[in-house]
């Protein structure tokens, strides 16, 4: 599993928990969460992490993986091992 895969699996878990805690803040159903996560991943892969806002969920995912929750820290983690 690549670092990017690890990050997005952890992000989906955290996103799901956050959406369950605060459904009005996330405005998606349980069934829509995989698509929302896939769209976020696609945006990051297309634009780089600097092309998207560092949401509380992205920051929490980074901290959970012991990554510095900054554009630079997350970008380095996602691109580690990628040639």
Give the CB-side neighbour count of residue 6, counting CA atoms within 13 A: 13
Q: What is the mean pLDDT of residues 2-18?
A: 96
Confirm whether pTM is higher than 0.85. Answer: yes
Please give the Cα distance from 28 to 16 (Å, whole number).
10
In sequence order, which ranges of the chain are alpha helices (DSSP H)?
3-21, 23-26, 33-47, 56-64, 71-79
| pLDDT at res. 20 | 93
| pLDDT single digits (tens) 19-78 | 999 988 888 999 999 999 999 999 998 888 887 888 899 999 999 999 999 999 999 999
Residue 81's pLDDT band, with cuts at 50, 70 and 90, is low
Residue ranges per domain, the chain? 3-79
Rounded CA-CA distance 34/68 in Å is 25
């Amino acid at each position: 599993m690549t670092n990017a895969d690890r990050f997005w699996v952890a992000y989906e878990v955290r996103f799901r928990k956050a959406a369950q805690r605060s459904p009005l803040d996330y405005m998606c159903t349980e069934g829509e969460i995989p698509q929302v996560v896939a769209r976020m991943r696609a945006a990051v892969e297309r634009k780089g992490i600097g092309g998207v806002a560092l949401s509380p969920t992205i920051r929490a995912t980074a901290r959970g993986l012991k990554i510095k929750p900054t554009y630079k820290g997350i970008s380095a983690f996602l691109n580690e091992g990628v040639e």
